[in-house]
């Protein structure tokens, strides 16, 4: 993997956003591998198809690429029409998202991250204000992907702060998330909620009471559930079975860091 963008390709483009699109797409095509199966090449869809940007010929996973200038990934990714995004999430033919940040002085990739599609729930999509009546597309409603609402386990870096992450570690991190694929609707929502609560606990080990501290917040989000504590314990057991956390002594849990696997 070479972190340098091939700026020669951008010579004939005037607009910065077009340049960025050309350079980052070319970079991804040349440098990335499939995080699902490890195949060393991804292929590009034809430009005029209303689908994702890349696909893997070996395992058929599809990927969309978003990029922005900057040193950090930030909290939000600007995306297309809100209604289309919600439709895609609900129909579950949404692609996985690659997210890339670059610097436009030296033209290097700084971060390159994948968010597996099974982390996409309507919760993480923010509706933007409709475009003003004076705009070309007046009334059009776009959306943001709220990265901060995606659990740590769903933000898998291939390049982090200009450092290339070992491919084996990336594949194993990806693999650890696959159990979510078979979970639908509110059952997936609950797991993601508890993963987010765990992320918000500062230390690596924690007690049951640390998670119970989120009971009120969770009950507001799930008003129909009267047994929040039971639900929390059920999710913790599942996350233990899937290798996200481990149970230490009774009532004490530990987050499993992927690098230790
Ligand atoms: Zn693949």
**Rounded to the nearest whole angstrom, what is the distance from the C-alpha of residue 55 to the centroid of ligand 1?**
8
Secondary structure (H, E, C), 52-115: CCEECCCCCCEEEEEEEECCCCCCEEEEEEHHHHHHHHHHCCCCEEEEEEEECCCCEEEEEEEE
Bridge-partner residues for 84, per DSSP? none
Task: Using DSSP, state whether 8 is helix, strand or coil.
Answer: helix
How many residues make up the chain in this entry?
Answer: 261
How far is it, in rounded angstroms, from Cα 116 to Cα 230? 28
Nearest to 121 by CA among 189, 178, 190, 51: 189
Task: Using DSSP, state whether 252 is helix, strand or coil.
Answer: strand
How far is it, in rounded angstroms, from Cα 113 to Cα 101? 9
**Rounded to the nearest whole angstrom, what is the distance from the C-alpha of residue 224 to the centroid of ligand 1?**
39
**Rounded to the nearest whole angstrom, what is the distance from the C-alpha of residue 97 to the centroid of ligand 1?**
14
Q: What does the block give as tokens for 243?
A: 């290798």
What pLDDT is stored for residue 11 in this prediction?
86
**Rounded to the nearest whole angstrom, what is the distance from the C-alpha of residue 35 to the centroid of ligand 1?**
7
Q: Which helix (H) or strand (E) holds 196?
A: helix 185-200
**Rounded to the nearest whole angstrom, what is the distance from the C-alpha of residue 39 to the centroid of ligand 1?**
5
Chunked into runs of 10 residues, the chain (261 residues) has average pLDDT values of 92 86 92 94 78 88 92 89 88 84 92 94 93 91 94 95 95 95 89 96 95 96 93 96 92 81 46
Residue 4 DSSP symbol: B
**Rounded to the nearest whole angstrom, what is the distance from the C-alpha of residue 54 to the centroid of ligand 1?**
11
Nearest to 51 by CA among 60, 39, 41: 60
Residue for token digits 């078979």? Answer: 182
How far is it, in rounded angstroms, from Cα 228 to Cα 170? 33
**Rounded to the nearest whole angstrom, what is the distance from the C-alpha of residue 40 to the centroid of ligand 1?**
8
**Rounded to the nearest whole angstrom, what is the distance from the C-alpha of residue 61 to the centroid of ligand 1?**
6
CB 80 within 8 A of CB 55: no
Q: State which residues have CB under 5 angstroms from ligand 1, the bound ion.
A: 34, 36-37, 39, 56, 58-59
CB 215 within 8 A of CB 228: yes
**Rounded to the nearest whole angstrom, what is the distance from the C-alpha of residue 10 to the centroid of ligand 1?**
29
What pLDDT is stored for residue 50 in this prediction?
59
């Amino acid at each position: 993997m070479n972190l340098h963008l091939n700026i020669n390709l951008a010579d004939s483009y005037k607009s910065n956003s077009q340049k960025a699109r050309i350079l980052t797409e070319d970079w991804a095509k040349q440098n990335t591998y499939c995080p699902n199966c490890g195949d060393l090449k991804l292929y590009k869809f034809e430009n005029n198809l209303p689908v994702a940007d890349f696909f893997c010929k070996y395992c058929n996973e599809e990927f969309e690429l978003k990029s922005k200038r900057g040193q950090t990934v930030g909290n939000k990714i600007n995306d297309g029409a809100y209604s289309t995004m919600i439709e895609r999430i609900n129909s579950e033919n949404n692609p996985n998202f690659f997210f890339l940040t670059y610097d436009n002085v030296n033209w290097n990739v700084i971060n390159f991250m994948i968010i597996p599609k099974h982390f996409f729930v309507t919760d993480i999509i923010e509706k933007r204000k409709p475009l003003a009546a004076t705009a070309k597309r007046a009334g059009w409603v776009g959306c943001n992907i709220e990265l901060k609402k995606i659990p740590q386990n769903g933000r898998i870096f291939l390049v982090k702060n200009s450092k290339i992450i070992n491919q084996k570690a990336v594949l194993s991190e990806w693999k650890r998330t696959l159990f979510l694929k078979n979970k639908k609707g509110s059952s997936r929502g609950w797991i993601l909620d508890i993963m987010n609560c765990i992320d918000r606990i500062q230390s690596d080990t924690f007690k049951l009471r640390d998670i119970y501290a989120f009971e009120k917040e969770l009950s507001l989000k799930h008003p129909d559930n009267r047994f929040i504590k039971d639900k929390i314990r059920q999710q913790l057991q599942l996350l233990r079975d899937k290798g996200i956390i481990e149970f230490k002594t009774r009532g004490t849990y530990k987050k499993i860091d992927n690098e230790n696997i």
